[in-house]
Amino acid sequence: MSASARPDAIVVRAAGKLFVAGEYAVVSPGQPSVLIAVDRYLTVSLTAGVDAGSIHSPEYSRMPVRWTRGVDGLTLDREHHPYDYVIAAIEAAEQLRASRGLAPRFFDLRIDSGLDDPSGRKFGLGSSAAVTVATIAAIDAFYGLRLTLRERYELAMLATIVVAPNASGGDVAASTYGGWIGYRSPDRDLLRRARAESGVAGVLGSPAWGDAEIVRLEPPSGLDLLVGWTGHPASTERLVSGVSRGTNATSTDQTAFLTASRACVDDLWRALSHDQDAASADLALASLRRNRRLLQELGARSGVTIETDRLRILCDAAEDIGAAAKPSGAGGGDCGIVLAPAGADLAGMLRAWETNDIRHLTIGVHPPEGEHHAG
């Protein structure tokens, strides 16, 4: 994520994300996952306001949403709005600002997203996380809070779980840190209790983050990363809820799923270590293939379609050329991710995608931000 200031505005750009491995398991605190930040962006521009603040995005409506402060916190001037994550981010940042004794000010936000296609269909690149992260960063610059990357992630995470209580926050971490990351989620119930008891300032950097971990990983040596889009957007929250309803968290099958997911993602972390060797690429490919099978089994057990017909075609076409592929994120549509060894017949795979109306997204990895080890 990068920020730049002009005389009249603070402009912040946050990257989208893609899950590489560990989906569904990552919602359990301490379970490992791998994500990348991608070079598609959401931009937030902040300018000082006077009597009220506003939030505007051409993506949602022509007219801005105005906000003011009341005794019970921020209030909007209409009931139904698409800005839940933005409001939650403003509220979290404003609580931190107040705890530091800084005077309140109004500001106007403009949101422009490059995470969707021109028709507005979502690619599944984490627009909710990106807008939350960018809003936090813009307010950080506006008030001079001087937050570290870890504090930005934590503040954005606290805002996110107000709107989506079960969100793992992997997308928030990827959008904050950039590059390839390994991620373990915190206990969100514990965070909500800690915030209620100690406020936002008391939660930042506290033991309440428990198992949360964000580490830098290296791009896989000798493997090409490709992304395909099925053309069918999917709701992560709906899919995760469906899997939760269809599985028993304490069942033997679910325990086995978490154990197997941890084992294959741990292998992928090793394959993406800073001392990659000749066997690392093979380990990465094998890990990705195992994770795909685990998601197929989870979908069958829960009755939720994680790997749709088009995602199956996308992945099978990759495996046919010796690559590894799987749905990225919750599945049910959106994107599939491919790691392909040198010399693989990528042209043949892409022809198969095109025949089946699967779009190759020309996506790269957004470079890492800040310190090497994320903590």
CA separation for the pair 282, 277 (Å, rounded) = 10
* Nearest one of 343, 341, 340, 367 to 353, comparing CA atoms: 340
For position 373, what pLDDT does the model report?
46
CA separation for the pair 334, 322 (Å, rounded) = 23
Give CA 351 to chain center in angstroms.
29
CA separation for the pair 232, 238 (Å, rounded) = 14
Q: Is the pTM of this model over 0.75?
A: yes
Question: How does DSSP classify residue 208?
Answer: G
* Nearest one of 175, 181, 211, 209 to 195, comparing CA atoms: 209
Q: CA-CA distances (angstroms) from residue 236 to 167, 241, 257, 343?
A: 9, 8, 19, 34
- E-strand stretches of 22-133: 32-48, 53-56, 65-70, 73-76, 107-113
* Tens of each residue's pLDDT in the chain, 375 residues: 554 445 689 999 999 999 999 999 999 999 999 999 999 999 999 999 988 898 888 765 555 666 677 666 766 554 434 578 999 999 999 999 999 999 999 999 999 988 876 666 677 888 899 999 999 999 999 999 999 999 999 999 999 999 999 999 999 999 999 999 999 999 999 999 999 999 999 999 999 999 899 999 999 999 999 999 998 766 666 667 777 666 665 577 889 999 999 999 999 999 999 888 889 999 999 999 999 999 999 999 888 889 999 999 999 999 999 999 999 988 777 899 999 999 999 999 999 999 999 999 999 999 998 754 455
